[in-house]
Amino acid sequence: GESVGLHLPTLSVQEGDNSIINCAYSNSASDYFIWYKQESGKGPQFIIDIRSNMDKRQGQRVTVLLNKTVKHLSLQIAATQPGDSAVYFCAENKDTGNQFYFGTGTSLTVIP
Amino acid sequence: DAGVIQSPRHEVTEMGQEVTLRCKPISGHNSLFWYRQTMMRGLELLIYFNNNVPIDDSGMPEDRFSAKMPNASFSTLKIQPSEPRDSAVYFCASSLFGVSYGYTFGSGTRLTVV
C-alpha cells in the first residue's frame, strides 16, 4: 500500500534570488532556536541561532527573524546559490536542558 | 578535528537480529544525543547524555532500544531484536553544554531491517 509520510514543504527559487523559509514552533517557553541545513546523505549542519531576547540576527548571507507573539521563525537566504539546495530545519530548545526538538523541514531547490 | 564519527555508515540486517550503532563524539564535548530520522516522523530525539549520564530517554521507542555511554569518547545505540519499522537513519550529535548549544552531527547510520 501507499506509505504516508511527512509532507515536506518545498520551495524552488532562481539562482541569485532571495529565499525565505518559515517555521512555526510549538512552545512559547522555548528560549533558543537554531536553523540547520541538511544536504542529501549528510547530517544536519548548524547555520545560525537566535535567542528569545532577540528579534533578528544576521550571519553571512543569512538572517533569522523571530516573532514570539505568533511563535514563528524565518530564515532568509540572500542571493541563493545552487549549493544552498538542501532541507532546512528549525530546532527549538524547549526545556532547561540542552536538547533540541526539530521541525519537519523545508526542501529548498535552487534553479540555475 | 574529525567531527562526530558514526559507524557503520550502512547496516542491513534481518528482522530479529541485534543491531549496534556506534558513535564517537567530538573530543571535549560533554553532551551526546541520538536522533532517528524517517520520512514518517522526521527527526526524533531518542536519548541524550550529559557527562556520560543519560538525562532523558523518553524518546526511546520501546524496551528493544538501549543506549550506553561508557566513557566520554564512545556511545552505542542497540536494538534487540530489530524490526522492519526500525529502518531509519540514526544520527549521533555532540555539543559542549554550557558553552555552546549548537550540535555537531555525525553523518548518520542508515539502518535497513528486512
Which backbone phi and psi does B85 adopt, to 5 degrees?
-70, -5
Cβ neighbours of B104 in A, within 8 Å: 46
Q: Give contacts of A57 with chain B, Cβ < 8 Å.
A: none
Query: How many CB pairs below 8 Å do chains A and B form together?
Result: 63
Give the bridge partners for B110, in sequence order: B10, B89
All 3 cell numbers of residue B32? 551526546
Is the pLDDT reported for residue A6 higher than 70?
no
Based on DSSP, count helices (H) and strands (E) in chain A, helices before strands.
0, 10
End-to-end CA distance of chain A: 36
B12 φ, ψ (degrees, to nearest 5): -120, 125
Higher pLDDT, A5 or B89: B89
- Best A52, A99, A104 residue to mutate vs chain B (most B CBs within 10 Å): A99
State the cell numbers at B43. Answer: 527527526
pLDDT in tens, A52-76: 999 999 999 999 999 999 999 999 9
**Residues A81, A20: contact at Cβ < 8 Å?**
no
User: Closest approach of chain B CAs to the CA of A70, in angstroms?
Assistant: 23
pLDDT > 80? residue A46: yes
Instruction: Give the pLDDT confidence score for residue A23 in this predicted structure.
Output: 93
* Tens-place pLDDT, residues B45-83: 999 999 999 998 999 988 999 999 999 999 999 999 999
